[in-house]
Amino acid sequence: MKNVYFIGIGGIGMSAIARYYKYAGYNVSGYDKTPSKLTKALEDEGIYIHFTEDINYIPKEIEQTLVIYTPAIPKDMAELVYAQEKGYKLIKRSRALGEIASMQKCLAIAGTHGKTTTSTMLAHLFTHSKIGCNAFLGGISKNYHTNLLLSKNPVLVAEADEFDRSFLQLFPDVAVITSTDADHLDIYGDVCTIKAAFAEFASQIKESGSLVLKKGVSIDASNIKAKVYSYSFNETADFYAKNAEVIEGGYYKFDIVYPSYTTIYGENISGGEISGCVLGVPGWVNAENAIAASATALLGGLSPQDIKEALKVFSGVERRFDIHLNTPKITYIDDYAHHPKEISSAISSIRNIFPGRKLCGIFQPHLYTRTRDFAAEFAESLSQLDELILLDIYPARELPIEGVTSEIIFNDVTIENKVLIHKEEVLDTLEKRELDVVITFGAGDIDRLIPSIKELLQNKTR
């Protein structure tokens, strides 16, 4: 192979793999539906991208070209159909990641919530320690401004995505499961099937390996060969935080208690504590993720001192509890939350950091099926706000479903101060309001409003 062609190259997971092959010396190119900040970055790195379906851009050397596609692409997409008919080697993104991971010690972070922040934090722990790792992340690290980290150390940190059962391509040495809540019901049907998929993922961890499972998360452990550890931020577990306190700015200080364990290199380590850890990003949700990342880093062979020093300078992930503006008059936070549990956790963390302040949330629902399946739960979580600005559904890969609009969420939201508007009306709506803490939520294209919202709010502080 000398060419790698990507169908859907602008996705966060696809772009990391595209970067990997580019750095490995392959001719990399691809298609995406729309230009974005991420596709612009790839183009700046020398990767050619086009934005109109056209089979002529696929390299003609069939035997020397690997085609990688995202499952978010429709099955009848012209380039995908052409590659199938012409006999190109054609694999999904998850298979490509699985093949890369199989050649290294794999540390995989799974869960319906929290996996992007936790995997990015874990990759930072290794990178800051100078030991290094290779990391394929589902977000852009604010420490390193990329979703791909490369190292000569044969340890790979992977975000193990449950969408399309992608994580079943991984056979980790250590895995984390942060949560197994209902999601992607268009694929799984019900929560029992989701839990069964996570149990299958856990059964693929190597017999000599470890599973770090959030306390309270229940999966069928009958086929798990690896050692199972529990973790928690606010309860006693195998790995847990004690003496946790909120310090100025909503940052957390805590001690990490850890048990006796065996690293991925076979070293036997006695239990102990990492005292006086301070996490470089605020919020109890991030502190909880830090326990999972630290547990995995210890099992991966990092020292307690390396972990403590790295946690302090962790800067977070773009679009994950991302504070863009923080003044005494106005605060603006952007968060990728697109599931009711994620929204509830984010609101809880924000109220913890900014007690007594008024929260105005702008939410763009993602997918018709998710809106249909969780309308009541979305309404309940959004009712925890003081003000709600609700937008139309971002369809992504889906066609409309009759009767499914943002209105089915809006009608059940119990707070009085709520409006349902189009995305194009957001700035005018904000301009007319007295604002305190503003939060944008969603996994669609709401992030394209971030610069304009930030500028508008900055002008209001003057």
CB 106, CB 278: distance < 8 Å:
no
Tell me the C-alpha distance between 116 and 270, whole Å.
29
Q: What is the pLDDT of residue 182?
A: 65
Closest to 111 measured CA to CA, from 201, 44, 228: 201
Q: pLDDT by residue (tens digit) across 175-233?
A: 999 999 867 667 788 889 999 999 999 999 999 999 999 999 999 999 999 999 999 99
Q: pLDDT by residue (tens digit) across 140-163?
A: 999 999 999 999 999 999 999 998
Q: pLDDT by residue (tens digit) across 287-333?
A: 999 999 999 999 999 999 999 999 999 999 998 889 999 998 999 99
CA trace torsion 80, 81, 83, 88 (10° rounding): 110
Tell me the C-alpha distance between 211 and 454, whole Å.
41
Q: What is the pLDDT of residue 17?
A: 97
CB 277, CB 311: distance < 8 Å:
yes
Using pLDDT thresholds of 50, 70 and 90, give the confidence band for residue 248: confident
Complete domains list, the chain, with CATH: 3-92 (3.40.50.720), 102-312 (3.40.1190.10), 322-461 (3.90.190.20)
Q: Cα dihedral sign for 341, 344, 347, 352?
A: negative
Tell me the C-alpha distance between 213 and 110, whole Å.
10
Q: pLDDT by residue (tens digit) across 353-395?
A: 999 999 999 999 999 999 999 999 999 999 999 999 999 999 9
Q: Read off the amino acid at residue 386.
A: D
Q: Please provide the DSSP assignment of 132-200 as one string.
A: --EEE-SS-BTTTSSSEE--SS-EEEEEE--GGGGGGG---SEEEE----S--HHHHSSHHHHHHHHHH
Computed over every residue of the chain, the mean pLDDT equals: 95
Q: Please provide the DSSP assignment of 318-340 as one string.
A: TTBSEEEEE-SS-EEEEE---SH
Average pLDDT over residues 24-39: 95
Q: Which residues of 205-240 are buried (b: 16+ CB within 10 A; e: fewer)?
A: bbeebbbbbbbebebeeeebebbebbbbbeeebbbb
Instruction: Give Cβ neighbours of residue 124 (< 8 Å, ≥ 6 apart).
Output: 141, 143, 144, 310, 314
Q: Which two tokens stand for residue 29?
A: 């190119």
